[in-house]
Every structure is written in structure tokens, then in C-alpha cells.
Amino acid sequence: MRLDPVRIGLLALLFVVLFLPIVAVGLNAFAVEWAGSILPVGYTWGWFAQMVTDPRFGQAVRNSLILAFGSLLASSLTCVPAILAAHCYYPKLDRLLGGLVVLPYAVPGIVMALGLLRLYAGNYGIVLTGSPWLLILGYIPLGASLYYMPMKSSLNALAVQDLLEAGYLLGVSDLKLQWRVILPCVRQGVVIGLILNFTLVISEFVYSNLLVGGLFPTMQILMYVLRGGSGHLLSVLIMVYFVIVLIATTLVSLIVMRRKEAL
Amino acid sequence: MSFVEIRDLSKSFAATSVFAEISMEIEQGEVCVLVGPSGCGKTTLLRVIAGLAQPDMGRISIAGRDVLGLAPHQRGIAMVFQNYALFPNMTVAQNISFALEQQGKRGADLALRVAAMIDLMELGPRADARPSALSGGQKQRVALARALALEPQLLLLDEPLSALDAQIRKRLQVEFKRLQARIGFTAVFVTHDQEEALILGDRIAVMQSGRIVQSGAPHEVYGAPANRAVAGFIGNINILEPQTVWQVFGQVTQDAWALHPETISLSATPNTAQIMAQGQITDRLLLGSTVRYTVLVQGVWLSVDVLSRPSLPPLPMGTKVYLEVDAVDIRLLSH
């Protein structure tokens, strides 16, 4: 294939536009000083050391990971069985579910947050105000679509009805069929959903700020707090966040690339 | 009492009747082929026999046991689905062993049975492959192996060869026939392909619009179709209404005639045959061992099959020919 200089130029430009902010933040995290010059004056690990020793950093990372893994557990235990059940046994509900999962994205964040506050502020007998549980439960509807899309893609590639009926003829229960046949077949869709949810929760600011704020500070809250202070420390925090998200998205890419081999 | 007995089975979805008053009997070791056009109810009938759908009324007994109230896996039935329904996350061997595990087979007994089935279906080199890595023919054999491993009293096959190309289908038809002769299983085989039905069936049941319109040995159904619908579906039979018979052959009859293409002889000169007509070849198709001519007689097109012989080239288009029919080959179709 002949290399087209215009195409290469455009791709290079796109690459620069996408990666320049990340490179700039990275350089700022290591810069001794960076003002009035194209590149920093010198480089240091000092900001990293200062950030790591700040008790707020450890607390924010720990809280973010608690939220991420907590919400993964909660959302996977609710969304995955619901999506499987709707697809396999209740096709009419499945169509409804397809509409419901995009609803949280159609509603403004503030409305959703207020709704969650009303729901979990004791009006209906559940009091979770200021607790991470409020976020863990609140992220479930947000995460549902992130399971729904990849799982539906895997499920649609299966002749589910025939597989279930083949199982019934063998005397296999529904639960066993789901566990031994259907779930392994959509495993990659579930894994993609898990990683996307992880990325969503660890990046999320609006709900965590509105619903629990300083009572359960996450990395995003700490970023918000640090915005008025040292830009270098903020850059360090952003880089740590980038690395975590990068690992998650790399995993997604690897899984997506392997999907064709699965079935 | 027959091995499989179906009595007055009816099934409808809402107000639409899928099939009605179906009765049939299948002897042990017999392959009964349900044949009919798409939408005639044959797959639903199979699903009802399997217990995957419930009939509105009727009775099904297998080996003297009424199975209608039983769950699918309690009926002693195994099924091969149209798209095979192999478990995609399992290898060939695991697909077979998973089926046997449900029957409580474990350990050496299980391994031996799986190995025997893989051997029987000549799947040895593909035992560790997943279904996605198999050809259509191999998938079909795995599905059959999984079903036969259960040693079912009745094997149901729902158009298992329909997704395969013609060459593989023909090979697998022969393999199926050989396997059936070797194991002697009892089966109901659903197809919409009349040729496949004639090849595979010990008995053929022709279904049309939710009813079995004719049942019998393949030669009976082919040789003596019960009505116009069967005649039109099985084979490439010429159906001549009484006025057409008069027009073509000058014979007076009350009933329509069904003439198989191979029962009409062609000759260049007239002879003493009583039933004879003159026509002109308008089309010809080489079908391997036969040549199918379309002959225009008094404004009516007739299909005539003649054995093809390498030493004799097919008759050219436009050739004037005489058509002769032996009276014993005429099947009368009453109204």
C-alpha cells in the first residue's frame, strides 16, 4: 500500500491533538518549574513524593477503589442477571430494558442526583446520606448500559433459545444452563462491562461531589480541591488517574481484539 | 401397539391452528420422515413430541409409556436442531460429555462413552475443537453424536441437513442411513426436501396445512400420491386434469392423471401404444444420470425423464417426438 503524505500528516496531527494534553500534564508532574518556556526548566520526582506522602492522596485513592470495586460488585450482581433473564426469558421486558438503560444518560446529572438524594434520604425508609453506599447504589443505573451493550452484542450472536432447549432435553436446569453455557459465552461482554464500569466510577465527579462530597473524598474530589493549589501536585494526581484508566482501557482493547476468537 | 404412537394431536397459537388431529405410528428402528412445505407445522409437531411445546389435545406414547405429562428430559428423547445448538463454549468432547453428565455418568464410564461416540462419528482429530472451528458437516456430526450418546428411545431431527451445501448434504444422507442401519435407532426426521425424505425414510408422512395428508413407505408415497397436493410436492409429477388428458392423449377420464416423468417414453416414430401423443421438445436439462425434457403437447408442457447415456447425445431442441404411456403407470387422482 502506498503511503499517502496527506493522510499521514492528518493522522500525526490527530495523534498530537489527542496526546499533547496528556504529555503536557505528565511533563508538569515532573517539572521543577514550568512557566514562560516551551519545556520545563528541570525534572524531579519531588512532586510525586510530596503527593504520595499526603494523607489525602492515600485516602482518595483508597476511597475511589472502594467505590469502583463496590459498585462493580453491586452492578454486576444486579445488571448481569437482569440482562440475561430479560434476553433469555422475557423478550418484551428486554425491549423495555433496552430503553431504560439509556435513560440515566438522557436525564441531567443534577436531576438524577436529586432523585437519588430523595430516594436514599429516608423518604422511603432507606437512609444512606453521605455514605459511599449512596454512590454504589446510584452508579447501578449508570452502569447498566455499559453491561447491556456488550452483553447484548454477545447474546445476539448466540441462538439462545436453541441452546436452552437443547439443555432442557438433556435435563439441565435453567440456573445450570446460565452458569455453564450462557454466561461463559457472554463472558467477554461481561468483562468489557466490568472494565467500562470501573472506568466510569473512577472518573466520575458530578455524583460523588453532589451526593457525598467531602464525606467520602475520591480522587476526583481531591483533584477539585487541589485545583486552587499547586498545579504540579494536581498533575501528579491526574497522571496516577490516567495510569489506572489506561490499564483498564488497555484491558478492554485486548479483550475486544480477542472477541472474534471466542465464538 | 407401535413403538411410537401419536393420536389426535392438535396445536394452535391463539386462533391459528398449527396442526390438527395428527395421528401416526412409528415402529421401533424405523426412520419416519415428516416432509412438507415451510410453515406446514412439521417443526412444531416435532417440538410437541419433544416436550418443548404443549399440544392442545392428543396423546403421545413412546415404548408404551404416555409421555405427554413428562418433562422433555424424561421422555427418552434426544433432538438434533436445525442449527445444531452445540454449546459454543465447549469442545466437541465436552459437548458430548456434558450431555452424558446429566444422566449421571462419571469417570471412566463417561470417558469411554465419549470416546466411543467420537470414534463412531469419526470426530477424533476434532475432539478438542470448539464448534466455531468446525465445518457445517462436522457440527452436524457432533450434534448427532451428542444426541446418540444419550441412547434415546426416539431421536428427533429438525432439518439437520438444510444448512449444508448439496454435496455435503448428500454425503451425510448416506452416512445417516449407514449409521441408522448400524445402530437401529428410531427417529423422526423433519425436512422440506422431498428427495431427502425419499432417501432417508422407512416411512414418509407428508404434511400440508397442519395435517398429514399421506403416510407410507417412500415407494408408496412416490408411486401413488394420495392427492394433487402430494403429487405436486413429491417428485416432479405431471398432473393432468380430465380435460387436459383428452386434449393431450385423446382419452376420456373422470379423474385427473398423475404421470411420473420417467414413465413417459419418447420415440422418433409412432408405434402401437394405446396412449400416445405427439409433441415438440422445448427445453432440456441434464440432471446427471437423466435428461429432463420439457415437451409441448397440444399447448400443454409435460416433463419427461430419460436415462442419459454417454454414447447418445440428448435430443436437440425443437425435435418432434412421440410420447407413449403405459396404462399401468397412470395414477388416478380423485377430487
Q: What is the pLDDT of residues A56-115, one digit of tens each?
A: 999 999 999 899 989 989 999 999 999 999 999 999 999 999 999 888 888 888 888 888
Residue B42, pLDDT above cutoff 60: yes
B86/A174 Cα distance (integer angstroms): 16
Query: Domain with B145 in it: what CATH number?
Result: 3.40.50.300
Same domain, B225 and B243: no
A162 touches chain B (CB under 8 A): yes
SS in 3 state form for chain A?
Answer: CCCCHHHHHHHHHHHHHHHHHHHHHHHHHHECCCCCCCCCCCECCHHHHHHHHCHHHHHHHHHHHHHHHHHHHHHHHHHHHHHHHHHHHCHHHHHHHHHHCCHHHHCCHHHHHHHHHHHCECCCCCECCCCHHHHHHHHHHHHHHHHHHHHHHHHHCCCHHHHHHHHHHHCCCHHHHHHHHHHHHCHHHHHHHHHHHHHHHHHCCHHHHHHCHHHCCCHHHHHHHHCCCCHHHHHHHHHHHHHHHHHHHHHHHHHHHHHHHHC
Which chain B residues are within 8 Å of A171, Cβ to Cβ? 71-74, 102-103
Residue B287, pLDDT above cutoff 90: no
Residue B51, pLDDT above cutoff 90: yes
CA geometry: angle B158, B35, B140, nearest 5 deg? 30
Own/partner pairs for B251-255, CB < 8 Å, 24+ apart?
B251/B275, B253/B332, B255/B332, B255/B333, B255/B334, B255/B335
Dihedral angle sign, alpha carbons of residues A73, A75, A78, A81:
negative
Query: B125-148 in b/e burial notation, b at 16+ Cβ within 10 A?
Result: ebbeebbeebebbbbbbbbbbbbb
Same domain, B229 and B245: no
Residue A256, pLDDT above cutoff 70: no
Q: Domain boundary residue among B210, B233, B256?
A: B233
B265/B326 Cα distance (integer angstroms): 9
Which chain B residues are within 8 Å of A163, Cβ to Cβ? 85, 87
pLDDT of residue A262: 47
A159 touches chain B (CB under 8 A): yes
Write out the residues of chain B at the interface with chain A, using a CB-CB cutoff of 8 A: 50-52, 71-74, 77-79, 81-83, 85, 87-90, 98-99, 102-103, 132, 150
The CATH class of the A62-262 domain is mainly alpha
* Whether this model's pTM surpasses 0.90: no
> From A154, which residue of chain B is nearest by alpha-carbon distance?
B88
Q: Domain boundary residue among B196, B218, B233?
A: B233
Same domain, B246 and B157: no
Which chain A residues are within 8 Å of B102, Cβ to Cβ? 170-172
Q: Taking Cα atoms as reference points, which of B188, B206, B269, B159 lies closest to residue B35?
A: B206
pLDDT of residue B43: 93
Q: Do A170 and B50 touch (CB under 8 A)?
A: no
Same domain, B162 and B200: yes
Query: Domain with B262 in it: what CATH number?
Result: 2.40.50.100
Q: What nine digits make up the cell of A41? A: 526548566
Q: Do B150 and A170 touch (CB under 8 A)?
A: yes
Q: Do A170 and B89 touch (CB under 8 A)?
A: no
Same domain, B247 and B323: yes
Using CB atoms, which residue from B50, B79, B85 is nearest to A159? B85
Preferred mutation among B87, B101, B103 to probe A, highest tally of A CBs within 10 A: B87
Preferred mutation among A163, A170, A177, A185 to probe B, highest tally of B CBs within 10 A: A170
Which chain A residues are within 8 Å of B103, Cβ to Cβ? 171
Q: What is the dihedral of CA B232, B235, B238, B240, to 10 degrees?
A: -40
**What does the pLDDT average to over B125-131?**
92
Using CB atoms, which residue from A166, A169, A263 is nearest to B132? A263
Per-residue pLDDT tens digits for B288-315:
889 999 999 999 999 999 998 888 888 8
**What does the pLDDT average to over A212-241?**
88
**Cα of A247 to nearest chain B Cα, Å:** 27
**Cα of A69 to nearest chain B Cα, Å:** 28
Same domain, B81 and B206: yes
| C-alpha A20: how far from chain center | 23
Q: Do B73 and A171 touch (CB under 8 A)?
A: yes
Q: Domain boundary residue among B206, B233, B260?
A: B233
Residue B273, pLDDT above cutoff 90: no
> From A161, which residue of chain B is nearest by alpha-carbon distance?
B85
Residue B335, pLDDT above cutoff 50: yes
**What does the pLDDT average to over A117-140?**
85
pLDDT band, very low/low/confident/very high, at A132 (cuts 50, 70, 90)? confident
Residue A252, pLDDT above cutoff 80: no
Which chain B residues are within 8 Å of A169, Cβ to Cβ? 50-52, 72-73, 77-79
Task: Give strand pairing partners of B150.
Answer: none
Same domain, B187 and B325: no
Same domain, B190 and B243: no
Distances in Å between the Cα of A59 and the Cα atoms of A55, A233, B151 are: 6, 15, 63
Same domain, B214 and B111: yes
Per-residue pLDDT tens digits for B221-264:
998 888 888 888 887 899 999 999 999 998 899 989 999 999 99
**Host domain of residue B115:** 4-233
Q: Do A171 and B103 touch (CB under 8 A)?
A: yes
Same domain, B168 and B245: no
A259 touches chain B (CB under 8 A): no
Residue A259, pLDDT above cutoff 70: no
How many domains, chain B? 2
**Cα of A44 to nearest chain B Cα, Å:** 51
Residue A1, pLDDT above cutoff 80: no
> From B133, which residue of chain A is nearest by alpha-carbon distance?
A263
Same domain, B25 and B150: yes
pLDDT band, very low/low/confident/very high, at A11 (cuts 50, 70, 90)? very high
> From A173, which residue of chain B is nearest by alpha-carbon distance?
B102
A170 touches chain B (CB under 8 A): yes
Q: What percent of chain A has pLDDT over 70?
A: 96
Highest mean pLDDT among A25-39, B194-208, B218-232: B194-208
The domains of chain A are located at: 1-44, 62-262
> From A263, which residue of chain B is nearest by alpha-carbon distance?
B132
Highest mean pLDDT among A166-170, A199-203, B103-107: A166-170
Dihedral angle sign, alpha carbons of residues A175, A179, A180, A182:
positive
Same domain, B138 and B278: no
